[in-house]
Amino acid sequence: MSRGDVCPGCQEHGQARHEGSGAQELADLGIGRRELATAEKGRELVKIRRGVLGCQASAECARTSPAGRPGCTGWASRRAVVSHLSAAAFHGLPLPSKLDTVWLTRPGRRGGGHHRTGIQVVRAPLQVSEWGWQENLMVTTMDRTTIDIARNESFVMGVMVADAAMGGGCTPGQLRPALERARRWPGMAKARQVVDFADVRSESPYESWMRVLLSELDLGELTPQLVINDEHGNFVARVDGAPGRPEGGLRI
């Protein structure tokens, strides 16, 4: 679901209305004037009335509202975005066996986050293009989520998530700009290694884990989804992977 389609809380047009957001609300979300100008140019945001911006659906609701003052929760009225492993759950990415903490990112300059039982709040810059709506909640995009996890979690967890993200349509061309935007943040050296190691051919977290394990054991790079043919070129089988040179003897 894109921001330009439906805002959270809007269930039936004409019953639940959208609400735009003023410049101060957007500033509280860490969205500066330059980002606003870019979002307006790309039609991610449109002007609803003087000093108020919103998505396309917000503008339509405002246009059809007699008072021009729609009443439901606005698309930018909240102050935190679901992120990291919690965002991974929304995107259907691999998760650790135990996930007992809700991760939130509060847009702004880095620093000043806090942790309490069950909730981890991170303060970090967040561009307009790095979040969207998922089930009526603001959630970081798949590329931003992948980089956040690659920075903060183990290398193998990062690879599992990056492989799955690529399999879900998140291209290296999306991940590398996300890396660049976070280039000065903690954990970026590991995040770059994760993105370099990621392989869209890995079809499961198990295969991702196996690739990392073989690399750590210095058994060579795993060739995922290797097709085996006979001496006549006829298909014999497809295996999850083969470590080292494809013509080697070990198959997985």
Q: What is the pLDDT of residue 25?
A: 56
14 within a domain of the structure (yes/no): yes
Q: What is the pLDDT of residues 189-214, one digit of tens each?
A: 999 999 999 999 888 898 899 889 88
Q: Helix, strand, or coil here: 159?
A: helix
The Cα–Cα gap between 78 and 211 comes to 40
Average pLDDT of 223-239? 68
Q: Is 55 exposed, middle or buried (0-12, 13-18, 19+ CB in 10 A)?
A: buried
Which segments of 76-134 does DSSP mark as H helices, in order?
84-91
Contact between 18 and 73 under an 8 Å Cβ cutoff? The reply is no
| Same structural domain, 201 and 99 | yes
Q: What is the pLDDT of residues 53-75, one digit of tens each?
A: 555 555 555 454 433 333 323 33
| Same structural domain, 96 and 176 | yes
pTM here is 0.63
Label residue 16 by pLDDT band (50, 70, 90): very low
213 within a domain of the structure (yes/no): no
Q: What is the pLDDT of residue 65?
A: 44
Q: Which helix (H) or strand (E) holds 7?
A: none
Q: Strands, DSSP E only, in 148-217?
A: none
215 within a domain of the structure (yes/no): no
Which residue, 77, 94, 123, sits at the end of a domain? 77
Q: Which residue has the higher pLDDT, 46 or 97?
A: 97
Label residue 128 by pLDDT band (50, 70, 90): confident
Total tally of structural domains belonging to the chain: 3
- Please state whether beta strands 102-107 and 119-124 pair in parallel, antiparallel, or not at all (unpaired): parallel
Q: What is the pLDDT of residue 169?
A: 92
Q: What is the pLDDT of residue 44?
A: 59
| Same structural domain, 100 and 197 | yes
| Same structural domain, 239 and 147 | no
Structural domain boundaries, residue 115: 81-206
Q: What is the pLDDT of residue 187?
A: 95
| Same structural domain, 57 and 162 | no
150 within a domain of the structure (yes/no): yes
Which residue, 77, 104, 137, sits at the end of a domain? 77
30 within a domain of the structure (yes/no): yes
Label residue 11 by pLDDT band (50, 70, 90): very low
Contact between 145 and 157 under an 8 Å Cβ cutoff? The reply is no
Contact between 138 and 131 under an 8 Å Cβ cutoff? The reply is yes
Q: What is the pLDDT of residues 70-127, one digit of tens each?
A: 332 333 334 689 999 999 999 999 999 888 889 999 887 777 667 777 889 999 999 8
115 within a domain of the structure (yes/no): yes
**Residue 152 — φ and ψ, nearest 5°?**
-100, -25
Q: What is the pLDDT of residue 13?
A: 31
| Same structural domain, 160 and 197 | yes
